[in-house]
Structure 1
Amino acid sequence: MFDLEEELKKLPASPGVYLMHNDRDEIIYVGKAISLKNRVRQYFQSSRNKTAKIEQMVSHIAWFEYILTDSELEALVLECNLIKEHRPRYNTMLKDDKGYPYIKATLGEDFPRLFMARDMKKDGKSRYFGPYTSVGAVKDTLDLIHKLYRIRTCSRNLPKDTGKERPCLNYHIKQCDAPCQGYISKEEYQKNFSQALDFLGGRYDPLLKSLEEKMQKASQDLEFEKAIEYRELLNSVRQVAQKQKITSSSMEDRDIVAMARDEKDAVVQVFFIREGKLIGRDHFHISAGTAEHEGEILDSFVKQFYAGTPFIPRELWLQYPLGDEEVISQWLSARRGQKVKLVVPKKGEKERLVELATRNAALVLSQDKERLKREELRTIGAVNQIGSLIGLSGIRRLEAYDISNTSGVESVGSMVVYEDGRPKRSDYRKFKIRTVQGPNDYASMEEVLTRRFSHGMREQKELELAGEDASFGSFTRFPDLIMMDGGRGQVNIALEVLEKLGLTIPVCGMVKDDNHRTRGLYFNNKEVPIDRHSEGFRLITRIQDEAHRFAIEYHRSLRSKGQVKSVLDEIPGIGPARRKALMRHFKDIDSIRQADPTALEEVPQMNARAARAVYEFFHSPGPQGENT
């Protein structure tokens, strides 16, 4: 038994990390402290002014633990790792886990290359450009460089492998000078490569001037195709140059970090400046957790973001000062291997750029709020439309089911869940059919529904006996409406299962026309038509498609692992070749079951003995005949 008062007395006055647990042993908060004794005690002192969010968190703490470190810097690193691993609900969390691509230059090779890289390795033999905010930007840049400077893309070991293989396609389309064949000297290649590095570094003027001169000369010499080629290259370089506007007279690498927030969430905007040029920007959604002040949110963002990115700039320009500024600066400096400055600009160009990032963050937050509001009207409105069609109100949770099998291969079932018109994938469930052999959708559906609701009822009782909230079970949340993929037959199966279990849950069927398109809902023994242009109809279609997709994916995954097999595999003398031949000829198991021995024998790969074995399997009395 955890004695809170006793454990608080034992806390050391040392730096470290503390982890708060709830009564289900989940880590709900991770923090660091210079003195664990002083910091952790603050949470439980009634005299201290605590915010509503902190009060709520403390009410859920059942016990805590701590890890001692030698310094506050070590505590910061450990805190970052633990937050990333456990994602506690009361910590300020970075929602976006983005990785950024770089362009890597292999300077240590005789014939160096340029290619995309996801991380940076400090091997002293490579140079990195970036980060870029999209893979597309990297590919476009590399494509342009290969056209301009004809840098090789192969991984051949040169000059050792020179002449061993024919030149690749890039040589024939004039995007490589084939150093693999010795068609260009090392010195000439290195000169081209050096120019490519200048281009990546933002020095465009010499290239623009050269391309313009070549275009003019080709035009004067009446070589119009060449002139057009130079013109297109010139336009491409100008576009790249326009995107990388100079933002500072100095050539430092820096990130500009600013944010905007509302009651629940925040957006942080980052401008990436490399060698004095703005090469890209990105925004990040933040769950504010227990943070009350903007500085706390930026503090958490900086720790989480720069713990996961391989490149640390020389400077960070920040909208607000960080609470742990000194220790974060030490940590970033250690990661970079050089001093990293944290600056909160107060005037001039620096303040203007931070303000620009702030406006961008506010714009993203505003646009996202409007988008979410529109989405809410669309999704919740669609659920309400479905409810009004069948005379039900207060519907929030919908569950839909589907069965999948492929020509006699064992069936599987799927359960998909929608809440307020949106898929709740954490509540999806899949079932491997245990009691049904062959393609019997009704019997398979009966098994799925029985298992799903029996499991839920059993969990509810176990949680009640343990004195815990029933909502914590994996099957305990029951739907407000069950949606069956089909009409009267499927609905009646569901109602029979619910009646046997003593449950009362509305059930409707999603009825399809002859073209397999939804045409209406079957509810209370009658079909209700749907306006095909309504949001309710679109939601029904999405639910049907999602249930079908989820079942098919599960079935395919089992087949790829060899965990399901055809009923034909149980017949003596029928191996993979004959099974495939039968399915190719008859298309499905029912047609095979109905065929006589003569028709079976006519199938390629089959003979009289195998045909008789198949016929007797399906027509002789016994377990096989009864189950199929």
Structure 2
Amino acid sequence: MPESTFVQVASPTISPTLAHTLSTLPDKPGIYQYYDSSGRILYVGKAKILKNRIKSYFALTQTKQQNTPIPSPNCSPRIALMVRQIARIETIVVESESDALILENSFIKQLKPKYNVLLRDDKTYPYIAFDMGLDFPVPFITRQVKGGKTTRYFGPYPSGCRELVDSLLELFALVQRAPSCVAKGRACLFYQINRCKAPCEHKITKEAYKEIVDSAIGTLKSPNLLLKLLKQKMHTLAQNLQFEEAGVYRDRIKKLSHLQTLCVLDLAKNVSFDIVYFYIPEPPESNSVDSGDFIKAHEKSQGLLLWLFIREGKIVSYTHEIVRIQQSPNSGLEADSQLGEIYTQALINRYTKPLPLIPESVIIGDISCLSQEQLNSLHELLSRTQGRKIPLQSLSKGRHAKFLPIVRENAKLLLVQARQESAQDSRTLARLQELLGLETLPDTIEVFDTSHHGGENCVGGMIVYAQGKFAKERYRRYKLENRDEYGQMREMLTRRALSFDKESPPDLWLLDGGRAQIALAKAILESSGAHVDVIALAKEKRDAKAYRAKGKARDVIYTSTEVFRLESSDVRLQFLQKLRDSVHHYAISYHRRSKTSTLTQKNLLKEKGLSDGQIARALAFAGGFEALQDKSKQEILELIRQSKRP
């Protein structure tokens, strides 16, 4: 954990203050933060020795008349541009390099510095596990180590984990509800429909049940066999005219089809390792593009980070993320200089927490892009978090080099596919960036709306649009205390900003409202230290009322400085309306469920003989229905009397 040592350096000019500060920097491990003159964070880095690392950015000779820092000749054009903007430096000292690595990654996620590469996929992936120490094991999903040495783990599964478990439970006569099902001691409906062999009534022996478990595990380890069984089940249901049930299997097959889409690697048996590879498209022949080629320039500044998870010689799953590569003026892409950052951040995101199933090694696309200091820090981190040493090896040379062409080809295909799926919206986003003067192309957009009825059941909703599609796993609902819409928006945005350390800030916030909402959001973002573009979309007013004619409304787009009134046929306006309408539906749906739940709870309290006034006072005093549901009428009345006492 960080020590209490904290150094802050103010530097509007290079001399003599900055020179003096550079000479008094700590000679300990830690992180450093560069800020520009407006207070925006430019870069977060970590160092084994802060003094040496920070000095390496600056030229040794500076003049008293120099008004901006002079970058070191060793800096790349992108970093040189950053150094000239540095106006303030802050450092935090920590105990070790691995602590610095973790803290650096946390700050990058939370603050989204201008010159850092940001990987947004920092989720822990789920595993499927069987506790073989039980008499009648059943598959369960976990993201962490559970049970003892008798637990077997399979995965990780970045997607489709729930569908896999459901498939195993439906295809094999396993215990369906562990552990309560066995503990009840009597057969249930699953036995009657032949989905369970009723070990609770001793209708199957442990040895016979183990054979079923072994068959389920064998199928789990063979995606082709699993999909074959699911297709057979789907066709059987369809032939029996059970089309709705067949549709469930059709959707499940589609969700799990990715398990067999990658080219098969010819691996030796019983090897288990992870491959992380960053694919960079060929650089453009020319970096000069006009506005009509804006989207092409954006596509060429994208790369794809591919994870392959190999267990027992087979690819059990994979995942990928589109990563934006930063550019330098007149110098094109600088992907090579950012590879070290990309791989370092990817490894931290993946291995900071203990894994249920630890790979024998991690194979990196090009390990030469990592400095010896980075490698030492990563080895220390992996050893500390996973409980043993995990070798970091190179995919570009040595015994794993034969897999490089196949891994590269699959990464290329996935990037092309992702671009094709989001091509139309990407063009729209590029045109919106030009129109609204957004600092970055909004690959990730968070959209907010609130809903209430007469100040009751106040809720809010946030939807996320990322990399060309709605990211429903990142949607969030909020129960709100404020009764007015402005206060509700402030409460919701504040809570979202406070979670930036867990879920990185987006590129853009889209709000339902006007300039007042934008000013509110800007103030919240400024206090958080994160930079996010903010726009608002206000409904068109006709006769002082919101005009809701779908497809014809000319809603108004606000930025902090300008107002845009586009034609209703403009695809840029229609895109924003699509996002706004989606979050509105999401918030309204949550409000209706909340209202229904509240009415149900009040009815249950009314059945106890309480009046509406008594219910309102009791709920306000107790803090919620949960505290009252098991109490009698007399106990609730006593609570009300207590609330009246001075």
The TM-score, its normalising length taken from structure 2, stands at: 0.57
Q: Decide which of 425, 432, 456 is 2:484's aligned counterpart.
A: 432
Match of 1:344 in 2: 394
Q: CA deviation at 1:273?
A: 0.8
SS of the residue 1:358 aligns to: helix
Give yes or no for contact 2:353–2:385 (8 Å, CA) kept in 1: no
Between the aligned partners of 1:142 and 1:396, the Cα distance in structure 2 is 47
Q: 1:511 and 1:531, CA in 2 relative to 1: closer, same or farther beyond 3 A?
A: same
Structure of greater relative contact order (alpha carbons < 8 Å, 6+ residues apart)? 2
Match of 1:267 in 2: 304
Amino acid paired to 1:98: K
Match of 2:138 in 1: 113
Match of 2:213 in 1: 193
Between the aligned partners of 1:239 and 1:363, the Cα distance in structure 2 is 16
Between the aligned partners of 1:383 and 1:203, the Cα distance in structure 2 is 43
Between the aligned partners of 1:555 and 1:317, the Cα distance in structure 2 is 48
Give yes or no for contact 1:410–1:433 (8 Å, CA) kept in 2: no
Q: 1:68 and 1:173, CA in 2 relative to 1: closer, same or farther beyond 3 A?
A: same
Match of 2:364 in 1: 318
Q: 1:44 and 1:396, CA in 2 relative to 1: closer, same or farther beyond 3 A?
A: closer
Q: 1:452 and 1:197, CA in 2 relative to 1: closer, same or farther beyond 3 A?
A: closer
Q: 1:541 and 1:53, CA in 2 relative to 1: closer, same or farther beyond 3 A?
A: closer
Amino acid paired to 1:300: Q
Structure 2 residue 34 is matched with structure 1 residue 34: no
Between the aligned partners of 1:254 and 1:81, the Cα distance in structure 2 is 26
Match of 1:250 in 2: 269
Q: Decide which of 160, 178, 198 is 1:155's aligned counterpart.
A: 178
Match of 1:374 in 2: 424
Q: Decide which of 128, 131, 136 is 2:156's aligned counterpart.
A: 131
Between the aligned partners of 1:141 and 1:412, the Cα distance in structure 2 is 34
Alignment of 1:215-226 (within 5 A): none
Q: CA deviation at 1:258?
A: 1.5
Structure 2 residue 199 is matched with structure 1 residue 171: no
Q: CA deviation at 1:246?
A: 6.2
Between the aligned partners of 1:545 and 1:10, the Cα distance in structure 2 is 55
**Per-residue CA distance 1:254-281 (angstroms, 9 max, x = gap):** 1122212366442111211111011122
Give yes or no for contact 2:198–2:204 (8 Å, CA) kept in 1: yes
Q: Decide which of 281, 294, 297 is 2:339's aligned counterpart.
A: 294
Match of 2:203 in 1: 183
Amino acid paired to 1:302: L
Structure 2 residue 90 is matched with structure 1 residue 64: yes
SS of the residue 1:301 aligns to: helix
Stretch deviating more after TM superposition (290-299 or 106-115): 290-299
Structure 2 residue 20 is matched with structure 1 residue 6: yes
Match of 1:215 in 2: none
Give yes or no for contact 2:514–2:538 (8 Å, CA) kept in 1: no
Between the aligned partners of 2:484 and 2:35, the Cα distance in structure 1 is 36
Match of 2:607 in 1: none
Match of 1:280 in 2: 317
SS of the residue 2:23 aligns to: helix
Q: 1:534 and 1:309, CA in 2 relative to 1: closer, same or farther beyond 3 A?
A: farther
Match of 1:545 in 2: 581
SS of the residue 2:56 aligns to: helix
Give yes or no for contact 1:345–1:351 (8 Å, CA) kept in 2: yes
Between the aligned partners of 1:331 and 1:476, the Cα distance in structure 2 is 34
Q: Identity, % of aligned pairs?
A: 27
Q: CA deviation at 1:189?
A: 2.5
SS of the residue 2:132 aligns to: coil
**Per-residue CA distance 1:520-547 (angstroms, 9 max, x = gap):** 6599xxxxxx999874784586377368
Q: 1:14 and 1:520, CA in 2 relative to 1: closer, same or farther beyond 3 A?
A: closer
Q: 1:521 and 1:453, CA in 2 relative to 1: closer, same or farther beyond 3 A?
A: closer
Q: 1:20 and 1:346, CA in 2 relative to 1: closer, same or farther beyond 3 A?
A: closer
Amino acid paired to 2:175: R
**Per-residue CA distance 1:115-154 (angstroms, 9 max, x = gap):** 22232337334221111231x3x34443443455522132
Give yes or no for contact 1:412–1:555 (8 Å, CA) kept in 2: yes
Amino acid paired to 1:29: Y
Q: 1:308 and 1:560, CA in 2 relative to 1: closer, same or farther beyond 3 A?
A: farther
**Per-residue CA distance 1:208-247 (angstroms, 9 max, x = gap):** 9xx9xxxxxxxxxxxxx9xxxxxxx9xx9x9999779563
Amino acid paired to 2:578: R
Between the aligned partners of 1:4 and 1:22, the Cα distance in structure 2 is 14
Give yes or no for contact 1:306–1:312 (8 Å, CA) kept in 2: no
Amino acid paired to 2:351: Y
Give yes or no for contact 1:202–1:241 (8 Å, CA) kept in 2: no
Give yes or no for contact 1:253–1:315 (8 Å, CA) kept in 2: yes
SS of the residue 1:94 aligns to: coil
Q: CA deviation at 1:182?
A: 1.6
Q: Decide which of 361, 364, 379 is 2:411's aligned counterpart.
A: 361
Q: 1:24 and 1:184, CA in 2 relative to 1: closer, same or farther beyond 3 A?
A: farther
Between the aligned partners of 1:302 and 1:350, the Cα distance in structure 2 is 19
Alignment of 1:426-465 (within 5 A): 432=484
SS of the residue 1:90 aligns to: coil
Q: 1:296 and 1:167, CA in 2 relative to 1: closer, same or farther beyond 3 A?
A: same
**Per-residue CA distance 1:46-77 (angstroms, 9 max, x = gap):** 343322322343314412112132x4344334
Give yes or no for contact 1:99–1:309 (8 Å, CA) kept in 2: no
Between the aligned partners of 1:26 and 1:345, the Cα distance in structure 2 is 38
Amino acid paired to 1:268: L
Q: 1:488 and 1:21, CA in 2 relative to 1: closer, same or farther beyond 3 A?
A: same
Q: 1:352 and 1:370, CA in 2 relative to 1: closer, same or farther beyond 3 A?
A: same
Match of 1:487 in 2: 542
Gap regions ≥5 residues in structure 2: 1-8, 11-16, 60-69, 230-239, 241-248, 282-299, 327-333, 439-446, 477-481, 487-512, 557-565, 599-610, 614-646
Amino acid paired to 1:357: V
Amino acid paired to 1:432: D
How big is the alpha-carbon RMSD for the aligned residues of Structure 1 and Structure 2? 5.7
Give yes or no for contact 1:256–1:353 (8 Å, CA) kept in 2: no
**Per-residue CA distance 1:155-212 (angstroms, 9 max, x = gap):** 23697x362xx3222212222111111212233333433444444455999x99xx9x
Between the aligned partners of 1:522 and 1:280, the Cα distance in structure 2 is 44
Q: 1:193 and 1:403, CA in 2 relative to 1: closer, same or farther beyond 3 A?
A: closer
Between the aligned partners of 2:456 and 2:350, the Cα distance in structure 1 is 48
Between the aligned partners of 2:433 and 2:53, the Cα distance in structure 1 is 47
Give yes or no for contact 2:273–2:363 (8 Å, CA) kept in 1: yes
Q: 1:240 and 1:113, CA in 2 relative to 1: closer, same or farther beyond 3 A?
A: farther
Instruction: Work out the number of aligned pairs and report it.
Output: 467
Give yes or no for contact 1:15–1:34 (8 Å, CA) kept in 2: yes
Give yes or no for contact 1:84–1:304 (8 Å, CA) kept in 2: no
Amino acid paired to 2:403: L
Q: CA deviation at 1:39?
A: 0.7
The TM-score, its normalising length taken from structure 1, stands at: 0.58
Q: Decide which of 382, 407, 416 is 1:332's aligned counterpart.
A: 382
Between the aligned partners of 1:5 and 1:195, the Cα distance in structure 2 is 70
Amino acid paired to 2:348: K
Match of 2:126 in 1: 101
Give yes or no for contact 1:253–1:274 (8 Å, CA) kept in 2: yes
Q: 1:174 and 1:39, CA in 2 relative to 1: closer, same or farther beyond 3 A?
A: same
Q: CA deviation at 1:561?
A: 11
Structure 2 residue 35 is matched with structure 1 residue 16: no
Between the aligned partners of 1:145 and 1:478, the Cα distance in structure 2 is 47
